[in-house]
Amino acid sequence: MLDEGICVKQDVVEAAHHFARGATLGDRGAALEYATKIGLGEGTEQGYERAGEVCRSAGFDPHSRLSTYALGYACTVRGVAGRMLRERLPKGAFRTNTGALLVDFNPASDAMSILSTPQVAREEEAPTGRRTRRLLVDAPHEIQDAWESAVSVVPKPDRARLGNQPVELSLDVDTLLEDWHKAAPVASDSQLRTLNSGDLHVPQTP
C-alpha cells in the first residue's frame, strides 16, 4: 500500500523497509519486491548483484543458469513490468485462478517471449450487431509494451556481466490493490499514525 500509494501517502522508501523485513521473515512476495527495490535503488543502495541474491533466495533461477548480477537485472525488469501492468490494465482484465503470467527473458539481449498468461476476460455484453464479446485487452501487446518500457527505465546494467542465458520469470498482475487505489481516498498525514505493538486492543469480557 505504501509502495503504490493506496489509501496512504506513497512512500517507496518506507515500503522498501517493509519488503526487506518481509524478506527476512521468509515471505517470497516481499523478497521479490525487495529485489526490485534494490535493483532500482529505492530505499536502499542500488545494486544488481545484491538484487540477484535476494531474487535467487526467493526461488528464481534455482539451477543458477544466470550470474547473480544478471538475475538481479532480470528481476528488476520483471518487478517494474508487473507494476506497469497493474497500473495500466483495466479491472478484471485477467480471470482469476486461470494460470500464471510467465515470460522467458534473456538479459544480455533484452529479448522477451511470453510463455503463458492467465485467461483474458471478455466484455460483459457484446455491442449491438455483434454476437461475440471481445477480449478486454490484447494481452501479448500489453505485456510486450510494459516489458519494453521497464527495460527503458531501470538503471542501465553492465552488459559485459549479463552473459547470454535466458531465465523464466513470473509476473504479478493482480490488480486488487490497484482497484482499491481507484476507489479509496488517500488519508491525510493528520489521519495517520504509527501502529505500535500496544495499539491492538482486545475488548474486555464483562
pLDDT tens, 105-129? Answer: 999 999 999 999 999 988 775 555 5
For residue 70, give Cα distances in angstroms to 65, 82, 150.
10, 18, 15
SS3 105: strand
Place of cell 479491472: 91
Measured CA to CA, the distance from residue 178 to residue 39 in angstroms comes to 23
Tell me the pLDDT band of 96, cut-offs 50, 70 and 90: confident
Instruction: Check whether 12 has a pLDDT greater than 90.
Output: no
Output the CA torsion sign for 110, 158, 171, 63: positive
- At 131, the pLDDT band (50, 70, 90 cuts) reads low
How do the domains of the chain map onto residue ranges?
Answer: 12-122+134-175
Residue 21 has pLDDT above 50, yes or no: yes
pLDDT of 1 > 90? The answer is: no
Q: Are 118 and 94 in contact (CB under 8 A)?
A: yes
Q: The whole model's pTM is what?
A: 0.79
| Residue 127, pLDDT score | 52
